[in-house]
Structure 1
Amino acid sequence: MPVKKRKLPDAGDHEHRCKLSSLTRPHIRPVRPMGGAKPFSSKRCLAWFHEYAGPDKVVGPEAMEKFCEDIRVEPENIIMLVLAWHLEAANMGFFTKDEWLRGMTLLQCDCTERLQSKLEDLHRELNDAAAFRNIYRYAFDFSRDKNQRSLDMDTAKSMLALLLGRTWPLFPVFHQFLEQSKYKGLNKDQWYNVLEFSRTIKPDLSNYDEDGAWPVLLDEFVEWRKSRSAS
């Protein structure tokens, strides 16, 4: 999960968080009983949060690095995006107290060890088509600058590499197309359609319908790809 060191939004960002939450309800798997272990404790969970929260009472970028080190997950690992989705975090690089308590309560994690025991479950959610679609869609609002309607191209390429780089055969070619294209960013419609394109269009593009309702961006990608193959 690429970390951007942004200022923590003020209370005026509450409307955005509510909208984000209403559109991306996390898919929570049943909690596995931990034989002989103490039950989940909200008090312990809050104390865990304060181990990382600074004066602003938020886990910011520097504390996030320490958090990742403690749970033994690289900050750029896609698991951090899945975790942020579960917490319904509104801003990349930050976990607020409310987000932490809500998400960790649902995950029943009140300490480092319990979260580590959940990492495999979080990773498996990437193989669930419905959950992955929600995570992918969540990533757009999560990673964009909140004063912009689109996702800047550098961030878009990084997030696409994180989400589709290992599973979409055409991703390296699509990445090259974005590198040389006129586009400075991706809007939400383009972002959503890239996922559908990656899931439904064959690597040889043989089933691509030029008269379909794809964004112009993808029409141009197909034309560019075919022209390169022909030459």
Structure 2
Amino acid sequence: MPVKKRKLPDSEDHGHKSKITSFTRPQVRGVKPNSSERQFSSKKCLAWFHKYAGPDKVIGPEAMEKFCEDICVEPENIIMLVLAWHLEAAKMGYFTKDEWLRGMTVLQCDCTERLQSKLDYLRSELNDAVAFKNIYRYAFDFARDTNQRSLDMDTATSMLVLLLGRTWHLFPVFHQFLEQSKYKGLNKDQWYNVLEFSRTINTDLSNYDEDGAWPVLLDEFVEWQKTRSASRLPYITNKREGERKLTAETKQLT
């Protein structure tokens, strides 16, 4: 979870009001404690929170790094995004007391060891299509600045690398397109449609409907990629023809 250091307002709980309204709230499955485990303790969970928050009443970027170190998860690991989704955290790099208590109560985690025992479960949620879609949508509001309606391109590409970089075969090409494009950021409609595009459009773009209701951004990406592929085709054809001739000549010599 990339960490942004942002100053929060000085009101109670730092005026930390949720701006996240566009995703389905997480439902925890399969994380009920075994009968042999002790009961979840709200008091212990709160003390666990204050270990990191101190008098600030919020876990900020520096404390977040310590928290990640204690649970043995890198701050940039996607598991931290899944955890933030469960806590319904409103701002990247920050957990408030209310978010912590609400999310950890649902997860039944009141100490480091219990959360560590749930990491495999959190990771498994990325393989659930519905849960992943909700996490992906949550990431847009989670990562954007409060006073901005769009994600700046640096943040957008960082989040896309985290969410789609290892699963979408066309992502390296799409990433390259974004880097050379005129776009300075992604709005919510574009963000949502990138996931839909990655799930439904073939790698060769053969089933892309130019008359469909896709954002212009994706129309331009498809046109850019097709032009790029077409310009490379003669080179590839000539290269293969040259290789065939060289092979034939080599056989004649031997």
- Number of the residue aligned with 2:216: 216
**Alpha-carbon distance between aligned partners in 2 of 1:118 and 1:201, rounded to the nearest angstrom:** 34
The CA RMSD measured in Å over matched residues stands at 1.5
Report if the CA contact (8 A) 1:21-1:88 is conserved.
no
Does residue 85 (structure 1) correspond to residue 91 (structure 2)? The answer is: no
- Number of the residue aligned with 2:147: 147
Does residue 120 (structure 1) correspond to residue 153 (structure 2)? The answer is: no
- Number of the residue aligned with 1:39: 39
**Alpha-carbon distance between aligned partners in 1 of 2:195 and 2:10, rounded to the nearest angstrom:** 32
**Alpha-carbon distance between aligned partners in 1 of 2:181 and 2:26, rounded to the nearest angstrom:** 34
- Number of the residue aligned with 1:68: 68
Report if the CA contact (8 A) 2:32-2:108 is conserved.
no
**Alpha-carbon distance between aligned partners in 1 of 2:64 and 2:212, rounded to the nearest angstrom:** 43
- Number of the residue aligned with 1:134: 134
Does residue 176 (structure 1) correspond to residue 172 (structure 2)? The answer is: no
Q: Secondary structure at the match of 1:54?
A: helix
Instruction: Read off the aligned partner of 2:180 and give its amino acid letter.
Output: Q
Instruction: Read off the aligned partner of 1:144 and give its amino acid letter.
Output: R
**Alpha-carbon distance between aligned partners in 2 of 1:61 and 1:119, rounded to the nearest angstrom:** 21
> Identity across aligned pairs (percent)?
83
**Alpha-carbon distance between aligned partners in 1 of 2:121 and 2:127, rounded to the nearest angstrom:** 10
Does residue 195 (structure 1) correspond to residue 180 (structure 2)? The answer is: no
Instruction: Read off the aligned partner of 2:52 and give its amino acid letter.
Output: Y
**Alpha-carbon distance between aligned partners in 2 of 1:162 and 1:209, rounded to the nearest angstrom:** 27
Deviation of the 1:141 alpha carbon? 0.2
Query: Considering only CA atoms, is the larger Rg found in Structure 1 or Structure 2?
Result: 2
Instruction: Read off the aligned partner of 1:65 and give its amino acid letter.
Output: E
Q: Secondary structure at the match of 2:56?
A: coil
Instruction: Read off the aligned partner of 1:158 and give its amino acid letter.
Output: S
Paired residue total:
229
- Number of the residue aligned with 2:165: 165
Tell me the TM-score normalised to structure 2 length: 0.87
**Alpha-carbon distance between aligned partners in 1 of 2:203 and 2:193, rounded to the nearest angstrom:** 16
Deviation of the 1:195 alpha carbon? 0.2
CA deviations on 1:39-79 (whole Å, 9 max, x unpaired) are 10000000000000033211000000000000000000000
CA deviations on 1:144-170 (whole Å, 9 max, x unpaired) are 011000000000000000000000000
CA deviations on 1:83-124 (whole Å, 9 max, x unpaired) are 000000000000000000000000000000000000000000
Tell me the TM-score normalised to structure 1 length: 0.95
Which sections of structure 2, spanning at least 5 residues, go unmatched?
A: 232-254
**Alpha-carbon distance between aligned partners in 2 of 1:153 and 1:9, rounded to the nearest angstrom:** 26
Instruction: Read off the aligned partner of 2:121 and give its amino acid letter.
Output: D
Instruction: Read off the aligned partner of 2:70 and give its amino acid letter.
Output: D
**Alpha-carbon distance between aligned partners in 2 of 1:27 and 1:10, rounded to the nearest angstrom:** 32
- Number of the residue aligned with 1:107: 107
**Alpha-carbon distance between aligned partners in 2 of 1:28 and 1:197, rounded to the nearest angstrom:** 28
